[in-house]
Each structure stands twice: as structure tokens, then as C-alpha cells.
Structure 1
Amino acid sequence: MRRLGELEAEIMDRLWAWQRPATVREIVDDINRGRRVAYTTVMTVADILHRKGWLRREKAGRAWLYEPVRSREEYTAGLMRDALGDSQDRPAALLRFVEVISDEDMDALDAALRAARGDQDPHPDGGGGA
């Protein structure tokens, strides 16, 4: 999985955060709060993301409404999978990774491994989640 480009990531970040379909105009207006970007540039990149399979779109009047096909977590997991796949020694790469992550991330990883294995209580604190 190829990492998203800068503007691609900006568009996806907004759509992931908003959790609803949005028009190019809404995306442009939000980006322009921090920096200037042309409407046509965002329209072109949104169309590219659609053709790549990252966005679905639906006509709403004269505008397109765009929404993500995959979640931010699916994107991140794909990048992590690809990074691990680049290693010639996967166990060593995993060991180096867990040596540098925070205690909170270690607990989250442990909970994820328990859930993937089908353990009854994937929460390390025994709380069972909310």
C-alpha cells in the first residue's frame, strides 16, 4: 500500500474526522483555514482518490459527495503490514518495534492479540471494556 501524498492525506484526514460525506467545497474551505489551496486542485485529488478506490462518491445536485471507503485504522494497518513485509527478519523487526513503543501501546497491542486469538477478555485490566 502506497502512503498517501500530502494533499491526499489532508483530504482523507478531514473525511475520517467528519465521519460523513462531504463536498469538495467543504474540504477546500476547511483546508483554506490553514493554507491556500485551489478548488480545482482539491477536486482533482478527490477524483484521483476515488479512482484509486479510497473514496466513494455520490451525486448531490451539481456536486459530488465524497466519503472514505476504508477507515483510518485500515489505512494504518496496511502501512504497518507493508513495513513489516519489507523486513527480511520479521521476528527481529517485531521485537525492535515492541522495544520502543509506550506502555499504553504495549497494552493495546496485547489486547489486540488477545482479541485476534479469541480470548474471552481482551482487556488487560480485566474491565471488559465499555
Structure 2
Amino acid sequence: MKATQAKDPTALALVASRSHRSPRLSGVKHTLNIQEEHPMGSVGLKIGFIANGGADLYMEPGPYTKSWDACAPEAILRGAGGCFTDIHGNPIHYGTNEVRNLHGVLATTKDCHERVLQALTGLCVSCEG
């Protein structure tokens, strides 16, 4: 597995939830001019899709994922060369009593992580989703 760079670095592909849609995701799509979207269920499936080179990013800006949704997928994505943080670029912490990822999750290929974080900062994304 290898989370690979897009052939055209300006053309990012997004993998998104089929059933939960954040208004901020539309803002990110517009800011980054994302035209390609792959809807699917399960955080694990989405991260696996990125790890296999099927998309460049997945974002859940709110506290809707839990530590058990993120832990194994993070290991897989990092093993494939990708990045997995909260939406502020900070590591996800698993050794706490809080099971919700309060500051959301951002999973990307390595080459686009900073660009996506900058877009999120420009949109004033908070942990509210």
C-alpha cells in the first residue's frame, strides 16, 4: 500500500461520508477546488481508500468519530506514508478517558496535508463540525 501523490497536485480527490455531511466540508471542497468525491461509509474504509491511492483526503471536522474509529486506520495510513491528525494538525491522543475525537480528524496523503490544513485555517474551522 502507498498513499500516493495525485498525478496533478492541484487536483485532489476526497473520500467523504455517505450519511454525515458537514457544511465546512463544502467550504474545503470549494477552497481547494476539489472536483472528485468518493462517498462511502466507515472511517476504516475511507482511510484504506486513501492508503491504497484512491483518494487524497478525508476530513471529519467535528467530534463525531471515536478513538476506536481512528486508531487502526491511522496506523494503516501512516504505514502507507500518509498523515493523520486532528483538523488543527495535532496528533490524535488515544490514552485519555475522552473517546471522542473532539477536534475532528484529517487524513491525507503526505503531499497535501499542509495545503489542506491551510485551507481549514482559512475557513476558521473549529471543533464544532
Normalising TM by the smaller chain, what interval? under 0.3
Higher fraction of strand: 2
Higher fraction of helix: 1
- TM-score, normalised relative to structure 2: 0.24
- TM-score, normalised relative to structure 1: 0.24
